[in-house]
Amino acid sequence: MRRVGLLTPLALVVLVAILAAPVSRASAQPSSSGAPSDVSVTVGGRTVFTSGFTKWSTGAQSGGPNILSELTWRGVDAVVPEVNAEVVWKRLVLLGAFGGGFIRDGVLNDDDFLGNDRQGRFSHTRSSVGGDGLFYGSVDLGFRAFSWTATGGLPGYVDAFAGFQYWQENYDAFGATGTFGISPSTSVIREEFTWKSLRVGVRGQVPITPRLAARINAAAVPWTRAEVVDVHPLRTDVRHDPSFTGSADGGIGVQADGGLAFMLRPRLALEAGFRYWRIDSGTGTETARGVTVTTHERVNAIRIERYGPFVGVTYRF
């Protein structure tokens, strides 16, 4: 049975266009004074072909080692459908984007150390990633600083915005090779990472020809709350509901994408480009939930990157 999450962004945009058609026709009518409407609505859909990298590093709460354990998830690939929308009223801009997909590939490297600066490594294992998925959503409020329109072509604009993003990724690792071996069909580690971030940025569209324009969206992440929930189902010395938790505040990040838009017909455009997101957390606290005792260590960093090309479509009502 097909999952609802596999609906293509194009299908979603078409559905929204059908449902919103009566409203758009009404809003497109000139006011009683003959002036055009001050409101415009644009909906869009994208498919982003991403690869991801996530690292969780912990150290002793006091003394050494300063790096006690590192779990690194590499090549966690996902095809991510996304829907997005913008509402412009005079110079105020409201933006929203929501996306999600299933993790398809990847590996987990799990390393433990006895000495500072990754010295005295006493355990190293490599596991295959068999799932799970990711989801994100953002809402931003902005101001249209500049706008211009070429007759019959794509409009130009520059916006400044600020807002909030929720981003979650879930991984499930199977089997292990290295210091010890585990069957590749056995789940060994499950982790859920969550980032709750403030965003400040600019975006713009600059026409190159009447039907072709460059698009860019760049945001800084000046603060984030990073959280991780970890389950080691095979370990008998820790609980499984969960085994470890970690959190960190502060940090910094960047989220940017850029590309080209081509107008197929008035109001309808195709787009293609590249996206790069990265967030580095501040330091925080890890809690190890043992069967008989709970201990605390230091979170050095929780870092995530996700990047890849995208294709999409937008329709302006």
Asked if residue 3 has pLDDT above 60, the reply is no
Q: How many domains does the chain have?
A: 1
Model pTM?
A: 0.87
Name the percent of the chain lying above pLDDT 90. Answer: 82
Measuring CA to CA, how many Å separate 161 from each of 58, 91, 148?
34, 12, 19
DSSP 151: T
Q: What does the pLDDT look like over 110-151, one tens digit per residue?
A: 999 999 999 999 999 999 998 789 999 999 999 999 999 867
Q: What does the pLDDT look like over 36-79, one tens digit per residue?
A: 578 999 999 999 999 999 999 999 988 789 999 999 999 999 99
Q: What does the pLDDT look like over 279-304, one tens digit per residue?
A: 999 999 999 999 999 999 999 999 99
Res 64: pLDDT: 85
> 206 lies in which domain range?
4-316
Classified as helix, coil or strand, 131 is strand
Q: What is the CATH number of the domain that holds 44?
A: 2.40.128.90
Neighbouring residues of 179: CB distance < 8 A, sequence distance ≥ 6: 122, 123, 124, 125
